[in-house]
Amino acid sequence: MSTTLLEARQLYCERDDRVLFSGLDLSVGSGDIVRIAGPNGAGKTTLLRVLAGLNLSFEGGLSWYGYPLHQQRDWYQANMLFLGHRAGITASLTPLENLRCWVDMRRPHREELLWEALADVGLEGYEDIPSAHLSAGQQRRVALARLYLSTEPVWLLDEAFTAIDQGAVKVLESLISSRAAQGGAVVLSTHHRLQLDECRVLELGGSLGFAT
């Protein structure tokens, strides 16, 4: 028995006169993991940005707990975590400062949690180095440290597995499934083959999106 958190009805979106998806229905409840699949250019990122409320050029309805999303934007944003292609890591700030700025915008926190989260993603000893000096994979890990601090029920992860090593991908998979088991909902796009049993796949690329 799961509650429906986020629901999309009859989504239609086009880009440069090309229809990316139309008549797309998607319902995400607590405990759900949805993988958006499809070839490059199929509209995976666009769909995730529509769901995040970033992209507003679409037709159709989005609802959050049954309320129209655009009326509940603050409430939704307090309960949604979006990780995009661009990690949102400021090069001149240290990983610790990056993480602190991000959490402070959202909720009160204890300082130890930030250190623990950075240790959790394997960045122990890198807390005070300017992020510009970190590798691409390490910068991605700083962004992923947000997942360890997150209380948000909904995660929207766009290509979250880019630039990180295979061991870390495995850990992320179990993080995601444990999150779903706790009642969270995860929508992600990736080209990795996930080892998740309870994962639904939404195939984009035709004119019709369907969930299996």
Task: Enumerate binding residues for other proteins (CB under 8 A).
Answer: 30, 49, 52-57, 72, 74-75, 77-80, 82, 84-93, 97, 100-102, 104-108, 113, 116-117, 120-122, 130, 147-153, 167-168, 171-172, 174-175, 178-179, 182-184
CA-based nearest residue to 26, from 153, 190, 160, 212 = 212
E strands, the chain, in order: 4-15, 18-29, 33-37, 59-64, 67-68, 80-83, 154-158, 185-189, 199-203, 210-211
CA-based nearest residue to 44, from 144, 212, 158 = 158
Structure tokens at 64: 């959050």
Instruction: Tell the smallest beta-carbon distance from residue 210 to other proteins (Å).
Output: 27
- Asked whether the beta carbons of 120 and 145 are under 8 A apart, the reply is yes
Instruction: Tell the smallest beta-carbon distance from residue 189 to other proteins (Å).
Output: 16
Instruction: Tell the smallest beta-carbon distance from residue 28 to other proteins (Å).
Output: 14
Instruction: Tell the smallest beta-carbon distance from residue 22 to other proteins (Å).
Output: 20
- Asked whether the beta carbons of 7 and 154 are under 8 A apart, the reply is no
Which of 104/206 has CB closer to other proteins?
Answer: 104
Which of 24/185 has CB closer to other proteins?
Answer: 185
Which of 27/79 has CB closer to other proteins?
Answer: 79
What 8-state DSSP symbol labels residue 173?
H
Which of 111/212 has CB closer to other proteins?
Answer: 111
Which of 84/205 has CB closer to other proteins?
Answer: 84
Which of 181/211 has CB closer to other proteins?
Answer: 181
For β-strands 33-37 and 185-189, DSSP reports them as: parallel
CA-based nearest residue to 35, from 207, 177, 145, 183 = 177
Q: How far apart are CA 92 and CA 135, in angstroms?
A: 14
Instruction: Tell the smallest beta-carbon distance from residue 171 to other proteins (Å).
Output: 4
Instruction: Classify residue 59 by burial, with Cβ atoms within 10 Å: 0-12, 13-18, 19+.
Output: exposed
Instruction: Tell the smallest beta-carbon distance from residue 206 to other proteins (Å).
Output: 25
